[in-house]
Amino acid sequence: MTESITVSTGQTFELPVSLSATIAGAVFPADRAAVEELLPTGLEPVGTRADRAAMTVLVVRYDRVGRETIPPYDEVGVLFPAVEAGTRTVPYVSLLRRPASGYVHTLPVTTEPARAFGVDVWGYPKLVATIDVTDEGRTRRATVTTAEGTLLSVSIRRPPTVPARLSGYNFTIKDDKRLREPTTLRGRVGGWFGGKGASLSFGEHPTGRQLDDIGVGTEPLFRLAADCEFTIGAGEPLG
């Protein structure tokens, strides 16, 4: 079943929306108690130990959005792998099942249509920013800057990929309601445990300072990459 939504910039999207993307991501350990304070009521973080949650940073370059509904854009997402409260979880296992799924905390993008697309349809916390993305060999680097300063800088070495299909979900808040969006990723996907293949730093932007206070580890737990077709469904109300 499809649903059509017209956003504030005038474009009409049919849900679920399909996007073509290349993704580089890294999952870092973080203090569980600090992450819990950033999650909305009804969600719980997943991580590696009772006192350690996780934070995922994704650097995404979209080359097609919907039926070329809006121009291509770049995006850097910060999300916290999470589940609905009361869901049984297992350290490491629950995290590795969906390292790129969870509560979306901030989502800078490079264009206003991209911002409206995410905010108006699902309530994604998007903001327009200058995102300097470079690909050198298998390493993708990005720096996010706004008028309030640098939010973050990240460098990720993309692991090798193989054909795969993955499903997951994102959690957002729209009109004071919690939503869960089903996601599907189809294409070439890869993951790599540990190592020193990613680095992350935060700047003076208020969101950067907030994230710098949650005890993020300096070495990644996991790195991931994808060259894929990415599909996002309509938001499903929770509770």
Q: Is the pLDDT of residue 239 over 80?
A: no
Q: Is the pLDDT of residue 37 over 70?
A: yes
- Residue 65, C-beta contacts closer than 8 angstroms, at least 6 positions apart: 17, 19, 71, 72, 73, 114, 117
**pLDDT per residue over 38-86, tens digit each?**
999 999 999 988 899 999 999 999 999 999 999 999 999 999 999 999 8
**pLDDT at residue 62 in the model:** 98
Q: 125 preceded by cis ω (within 30°)?
A: no
Q: Could you give the number of structural domains in the chain?
A: 1
Residue at 9 is within a domain: no
Instruction: Let me know how many helices (H) and strands (E) the chain has, helices first.
Output: 4, 17
Distance between CA 223 and CA 170 in Å, rounded? 19
User: Which residues form the domain of 72?
Assistant: 22-237
Residue at 213 is within a domain: yes
Residue at 41 is within a domain: yes
Q: Is the pLDDT of residue 2 over 80?
A: no
Q: Is the pLDDT of residue 1 over 70?
A: no
Burial of 70-87, coded b for 16+ CB within 10 Å and e otherwise, reads bebbbbbbbbbbbbeeee
Residue at 12 is within a domain: no
User: Average pLDDT, stretch 113-140?
Assistant: 97
Residue at 222 is within a domain: yes
CATH code, 89: 2.40.400.10
Do the beta carbons of residue 163 and residue 186 sit within 8 Å? no
Beta-bridge mates of residue 109: 75, 128
